[in-house]
């Protein structure tokens, strides 16, 4: 069994970002048009010692090419490990189910989350020439790196991540308004702070509110904007949609977005499919 550490995983995904994004988008389209994928519901275990601070997740997806199981957890105290999310992804033999390879999952998860934000914007026809990244933690910085590699510039606003290193951002926005054409939120906020009063963006992506105690987008914003799509149906129960009870206004999932290309808001809470497709890409490059 082979083991691929964080540096190898990150360097491989960043070596050719356009190819990585194109691979994910092509595979999403193939699955939307009938290719097989079995996306299992996430199993989430709350941390009993630090409630409302962390959890452990099992995420499983089988495609027509790979069988993948990921175990990832959040570590809010972070005295022993630098990252907010820590875990590993297991690639199984397709016929006999024995372990073939293990991939460190911290940077993989951050990178595939960033890729999901960008792909959703591309599918919706959003303007990536005017992007505001809200939050400059690990995922926000991954969004910035992917945008750079794709030839786009961006601004950064960070109202909540107190440990963020904004000096690495090319442009820092200090105003608490979110009016770029495309806004991508990547914070750990526990209160919704994007509202109709401070956000008139053409397209809004939330990838930060992925638990039952993280919120970024207000119910008023979701109701007024409409055109709401999610990466997977888990989003109806957690984060912005679960908190606001706006599940009834969700227009569809990632595959519906691929078909309809008509969205104003996209919420990602982490799809096992994106893990599996990323492992497909890494397997092609490394195995």
pTM (predicted TM-score): 0.92
CATH 3.40.50.720 matches 114-271: yes
* Contact between residue 199 and residue 221 where contact means Cβ atoms under 8 Å apart: yes
pLDDT at 52: 67
pLDDT at 82: 65
d(CA 57, CA 72): 5
d(CA 179, CA 130): 10
Under-50 pLDDT residues of the chain: 161-164
pLDDT at 54: 76
Q: Which residue has the tokens 């290719």?
A: 35
pLDDT at 162: 47
d(CA 109, CA 93): 22
* Contact between residue 182 and residue 143 where contact means Cβ atoms under 8 Å apart: no
Q: Give SS3 for 64.
A: coil
Across the chain, where does the E strand assignment appear? 2-4, 37-39, 43-46, 55-63, 67-74, 85-92, 99-104, 131-134, 155-157, 182-185, 190-194, 203-206, 215-217, 228-230, 250-252, 265-267
| DSSP label at residue 160 | S
* Contacts of 37 by beta carbon, 8 Å cutoff, 6+ apart: 31, 61, 62, 63, 64, 273, 276
Q: Please tell me if the domain spanning 2-108+273-286 has the same topology as the one spanning 114-271.
A: no
Cβ count near 130 (within 10 Å): 17
242-275: pLDDT as tens digits: 989 999 999 999 999 999 999 999 999 999 999 9
Domain boundaries along the sequence of the chain: 2-108+273-286, 114-271
Specify the CATH class of 2-108+273-286 in words.
alpha beta
């Amino acid at each position: 069994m082979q083991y691929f550490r964080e540096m190898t995983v990150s360097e491989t995904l960043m070596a050719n970002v356009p190819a990585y994004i194109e691979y994910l988008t092509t595979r999403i389209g193939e699955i939307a048009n009938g290719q097989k994928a079995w996306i299992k519901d996430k199993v989430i275990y709350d941390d009993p010692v630090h409630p409302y601070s962390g959890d452990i997740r099992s995420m499983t997806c089988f495609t027509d090419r790979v069988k993948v199981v990921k175990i990832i957890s959040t570590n809010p105290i972070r005295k022993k490990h630098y990252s907010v999310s820590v875990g590993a992804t297991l690639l199984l033999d397709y016929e006999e189910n024995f372990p073939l390879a293990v991939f460190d999952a911290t940077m993989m998860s951050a990178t595939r989350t960033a890729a999901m934000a960008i792909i959703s914007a591309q599918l919706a026809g959003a303007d990536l020439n005017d992007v505001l990244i809200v939050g400059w933690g690990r995922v926000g910085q991954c969004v910035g790196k992917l945008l750079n590699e794709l030839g786009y510039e961006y601004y950064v606003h960070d109202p909540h991540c107190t440990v963020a290193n904004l000096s690495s951002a090319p442009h820092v926005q200090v105003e608490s308004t979110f009016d770029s054409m495309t806004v991508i939120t990547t914070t750990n906020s526990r209160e919704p702070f994007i509202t109709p009063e401070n956000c008139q963006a053409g397209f809004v992506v939330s990838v930060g509110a992925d638990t039952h105690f993280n919120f970024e987008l207000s119910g008023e914003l979701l109701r007024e904007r409409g055109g709401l799509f999610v990466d997977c149906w888990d989003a109806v129960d957690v984060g912005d949609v679960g908190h606001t009870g706006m599940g009834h206004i969700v227009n569809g999932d990632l595959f519906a977005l691929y078909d309809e290309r008509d969205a104003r808001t996209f919420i990602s809470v982490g799809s096992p499919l994106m893990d599996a497709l990323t492992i497909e890409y890494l397997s092609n490059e490394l195995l």
